[in-house]
Structure 1
Amino acid sequence: MRLRSPPGALSAATITAGALLSLTASAAPPQRQAEGTAAGGRTAEAPSEGAEDASATPAGGALLDVAGDEARADPPPAAVKPRVELAARPPPLHVEYVQYGVGLVAEISLDPGAVCPRSGPIYACILGSGGGLAIRGGYRSPGPWYFGGAYQFTKMDSSNLYRLGIFQQLRAEMRYLPDIGYRAAPYFSAGIGGVAYGNEWGVETGGALIFGGVGVELEVSRRAVLGVSCVYRPVLLAGWRDTANYDRATGIAQFVGIELLLEVRTEVGRR
């Protein structure tokens, strides 16, 4: 008995075999291409974007390194600050002043001279030490000089021969104040003047004086000055008859004057 294939089976097998062959042919080229690449070390594919970046990285990195080396080697110049030199002290103000004020004074008698003899009926000294007040004013130049005048009165110890012995002075004064750059400055002073002496502001005798000394002036502000001075003051007094009817001989009395002063300045001009 002879078996026969069902009708249409041959055609179905033929179609199936053709489909398998087509699938096999389509899958074979990539496999062969991969094998060829492994064998020959070449590929036909275009380089990818990652490869382009990798190939470009060394050049860009070199540029950055060069720029960094240049930045490290030659930094940009910094702003040059102007050199400021501080002066040891500010320059003096070339200002002219009118300077005036008052002072508390002490007249210390070193030697009354012939005015007070050391023996005889008039041994009691009519001209001793005392204290009082001075009023002064003057011109202070832009430089180191001061020129002015002063009126001073002091109550002197008269050994009770005078009820109120007043010793008055009218003086022309000058000071030399070297500029040392500090608020406290020393000065030298000198002057000449006239004197009067008597009981209760009266004038019973008179004479002349000269003086010279040193002092220190402290500039509290541009307009106020404190100071202290010490001067040597010889005084020539003419002879007279005092209220006790004693004759006083002409003589030179010597004093040391100590003064604590307060003065004010008023600006009058600039140079």
Structure 2
Amino acid sequence: MRLRPPPGALPAAVLAAGALLSSAAAAAPPDGDARIERALRSSAPEAPAGAATEGAADGPADGDPASPAADVAPDAQGDEAASAEPLPPVKPRVRFATRPPPLHVEYAQYGVALAAEISLDAGAACPRSGPLYACILGSGGGLAIRSGYRSPGPWYFGGAYQFTKMDSSNLYRLGIFQQLRAEMRYLPDIGYRAAPYFSAGIGGVIYGNEWGAETGGALIFGGVGVELEVSRRAVLGVSCVYRPVLLAGWKDTAGYQRATAIAQFVGFELLLEVRTELGRR
């Protein structure tokens, strides 16, 4: 014979068990809360793999104990920030460029020049009065040809031949004034392509009608110039010289006797010269 619980006994038992559990939970120590929380976490569904990856990518939070920033003391963080600052740029040392030593090369130097002879005074060759007042020796222009030796230092030694057609006041059909000179130049090294120089020399002259030699004499000169080095083998230059000329007396084609004279000229040249290397020292 089966014993049946009285009606309403089962609900009363359930209510009594719930009351006991709630009182036990209230009286349980804090560890019981942790156990209940772990139980709830274990019973919760697992997060998807993508969510875990995103959390790992975001990195630990600032307050998380696993965060490296939280493990570092504030002083250590300040030291690391100071060490991470870029160092001030180091100023390069200023080195003054020094000019390389000159090439000790010797050259053969030769070329041509456009020449002008400006008459300052023809002297006794052209008296200022009388039947010989017409000046037979005036100014003129022509061409100069020269060649020489350029030393490894500042010196140049050479020779030049120059002819100029002079104004003869129609006393000559073609008055040609010819010069043969020995020359020297002193070119100080100033470190630039354009360099000044001093020149001087001595030579002889002849003068006459149509390349003739009706008179002759000697000359000396001195002057200055500027030489521009276009390349190692070519130079351009200009020069200005003062040139007194001693001319012997002669009889011109008109039959007049010309006295011995000291004529004075200022010469200008625009020159182009090339070099051929001879050797090095």
Compute the TM-score of the two structures, normalised by the length of structure 1.
0.76
1:236: how far off?
A: 1.2
Work out whether 1:31 is the aligned partner of 2:41: no
1:132: how far off?
A: 0.6
Q: Which residue of 2 aligns with 1:8?
A: 3
Q: Which residue of 2 aligns with 1:152?
A: 162
Cα distance between partner residues in 2 of 1:268 and 1:80: 49
RMSD, aligned α-carbons: 3.6
1:237: how far off?
A: 1.5
1:23: how far off?
A: 5.4
Q: 2:123 aligns with which of 106, 113, 137?
A: 113
Work out whether 1:185 is the aligned partner of 2:195: yes
Q: Structure 1: any 5+ residue segments left out of the alignment?
A: 1-5
Q: 1:62 aligns with which of 63, 72, 76?
A: 72
1:186: how far off?
A: 2.2
Q: Deviations over 1:202-239 (max 9, x none)?
A: 22222111001112223333333222211110111122
1:238-249 alignment, distance < 5 Å: 238-249=248-259
Partner letter of residue 98 of structure 1? A
1:127-138 alignment, distance < 5 Å: 127-138=137-148
* Identity rate, percent: 72
Distance 1:14 1:119, change over 3 A: closer
1:138: how far off?
A: 1.9
1:126: how far off?
A: 2.1
Q: Tell which deviates more after alignment, 206-215 or 6-15.
A: 6-15
Q: Please state whether the residue corresponding to 2:72 is helix, strand or coil.
A: helix
Compute the TM-score of the two structures, normalised by the length of structure 2.
0.74
Cα distance between partner residues in 2 of 1:154 and 1:87: 48
Q: Which residue of 2 aligns with 1:3?
A: none
Cα distance between partner residues in 2 of 1:64 and 1:94: 70
Q: Structure 2: any 5+ residue segments left out of the alignment?
A: 39-59
Q: Tell which deviates more after alignment, 161-170 or 77-86.
A: 77-86
Work out whether 1:197 is the aligned partner of 2:207: yes
